[in-house]
Chain A
Amino acid sequence: MQTVIFGLAYGAMYSLMALAIGIVFSTTRIINFAYASVVMTGAMVAYWCIGVYKLPYLAGLAAGIGFNIILCVLLYKLCVEKLGNLHVNLGWIITLFGAALIIDNLALMAFGTQSNPFPFLFGGKRIDLFGANILLHEIFIILIAAVIGLSYQMMCSRTKIGRALRAVSHNPQTAQLMGINSTFIIILSFALAGVVSAIAGCLIAPYTYASYTMTASIGLKGFAAALIGGLGDTKGAFIGGITLGLTEQLLTVLGVSPSLLGSFSFIIMILVIIFLPGGS
Chain B
Amino acid sequence: MPNMSSATESRQNKYLGALYTLWAACFVLFLLAPFFVGRYYVGYILIIFLYCILSIGYNIASGFCGIIHFATASLYAGGAYTAAILYTEWGLPFALSAILGALVAGIMSFIISFSAYKVHGNYLVLVSFGLLEVVTQILHGSSFTGGAAGYSMARWTFFGEPVNMTVKYYVVFAILVIAFIVQRNIAKSQWGRDFLAMKDNEFAAAGVGINFRKVRIIGFFISAVISGLAGAMYAAYAGYISPDSFGFPLSILILLMVMAGGSGTLSGPVVGAFVISLVPEVFNDQPALKVIFYGLMLIVITQVMPTGIVGKIKEKFREVDANRHIRGVQPETDIDFAKYAKKRDRASEDILVVKGLTKQYWGLTAVSDLDLTVRRGTIHALIGPNGAGKSTLVNCITGLVKPTRGEVWFNGENITGMEPYHLAKKGMTRTYQHVLLFNSMPVIDNVAAGARLDKHYGIFHALFQTRKKRRMDREAYLEAHECLQLLGIADKANDIPESLSAGQQKLLEIGRALIAKPDLLLLDEPCAGLTDSETEQFADLIRKIRDQGISILLIEHHMNLVMEVSDRITVIDHGVKIAEGTPEQVANDPVVRRAYLGE
Contact = CB atoms under 8 A, between A and B. Distances in A.
Nearest to B147: A259
A56 interface: no
B302 interface: yes
B292 A273 contact: no
A273 B127 contact: yes
Interface size class of A (residues with CB under 8 A): 35 or more
Contacts of B129: 220, 223, 266
B134 A259 contact: no
B114 interface: yes
A95 B300 CA distance: 8
B68 A102 contact: no
B350 interface: no
B121 A102 contact: no
A94 B295 CA distance: 9
Nearest to A216: B248
A272 to B, nearest CB: 10
Interface size class of B (residues with CB under 8 A): 35 or more
A98 B288 CA distance: 13
Interface string A188-232: 000000000000000000000000000000001001100100000
Contact of A97 (B133, B140, B298, B303): B298
Nearest to A108: B288
Nearest to B249: A101
Contacts of A159: none
Interface stretch (A9-17, A59-67, A75-83): A75-83
A109 B306 CA distance: 29
A90 B200 CA distance: 12
B121 A93 contact: yes
Contacts of A99: 295, 299
Nearest to A106: B292
Contacts of B131: 266, 270
B68 A93 contact: yes
Given A97-B252, A223-B129, A266-B133, A274 B259 contact: no
A11 to B, nearest CB: 19
A274 B119 contact: yes
B369 to A, nearest CB: 30
Interface string A228-269: 000000000000000000000000000001011011001101
A262 B130 CA distance: 10
Contacts, number: 117
B125 interface: yes
11 contacts: A30-B122, A78-B299, A95-B298, A99-B295, A259-B137, A263-B133, A267-B130, A267-B134, A270-B131, A273-B119, A274-B119
A273 B291 contact: no
A48 B252 CA distance: 30
B259 A277 contact: no
B539 interface: no
B15 interface: no
A-B interface, 9 closest residue pairs, ranked by CB to CB distance from nearest: A98-B298, A101-B295, A266-B130, A102-B295, A98-B295, A91-B302, A259-B141, A105-B288, A98-B299
Contact of B306 (A31, A33, A91, A259): A91
Contacts of B296: 98, 102
Contact of B125 (A82, A93, A224): A93
A81 B72 CA distance: 28
Nearest to B303: A82
Contacts of A142: none
B450 to A, nearest CB: 23
Nearest to B252: A97
B111 interface: yes
Nearest to A100: B295
B299 A79 contact: yes
Given A33-B125, A93-B68, A97-B298, A269 B130 contact: yes
B115 interface: yes
B117, B121, B294: residue with the most chain A Cβ atoms closer than 10 Å: B121
Given A94-B255, A263-B134, A270-B115, A101 B294 contact: yes
Contacts of A108: 288
Interface of B: 68, 70, 111, 114-115, 117-119, 121-123, 125-127, 129-131, 133-134, 137-138, 140-141, 252, 255, 259, 288-289, 291-292, 294-299, 302-303, 306
B295 A274 contact: no
Nearest to B294: A101
A257 B295 contact: no
B289 A105 contact: yes
B297 A98 contact: yes
Interface string A89-126: 01101110111111011101100000000000000000
A91 B303 CA distance: 8
Contact of B134 (A83, A227, A266): A266
A106 B133 CA distance: 24
Given A108-B288, A267-B134, A277 B306 contact: no
Nearest to A86: B121
Nearest to B200: A88
A220 to B, nearest CB: 6
Contacts of A102: 291-292, 295-296, 299
A212 B597 CA distance: 68
Contacts of B291: 101-102, 104-105
Nearest to B124: A273
B122 A93 contact: yes
B70, B137, B291: residue with the most chain A Cβ atoms closer than 10 Å: B137
B125 A277 contact: no
B385 to A, nearest CB: 21
Contacts of B126: 31, 223, 227, 269, 273
Contacts of B137: 259-260, 262-263
Given A94-B259, A260-B137, A273 B123 contact: yes
Contacts of B302: 83, 91, 94-95, 98
B322 to A, nearest CB: 27
A224 B133 CA distance: 12
A185 B126 CA distance: 26
A90 B121 CA distance: 7
A94 B62 CA distance: 12
A10 B163 CA distance: 52
Contacts of B140: 259
Contacts of B252: 97, 101
Contacts of B118: 273-275, 277
A207 to B, nearest CB: 20
Contacts of A83: 302-303
Nearest to B66: A90
Given A94-B68, A98-B294, A270-B127, A277 B119 contact: yes
B288 A109 contact: yes
B97 to A, nearest CB: 26
A259 B131 CA distance: 14
A266 to B, nearest CB: 4
A132 B439 CA distance: 63
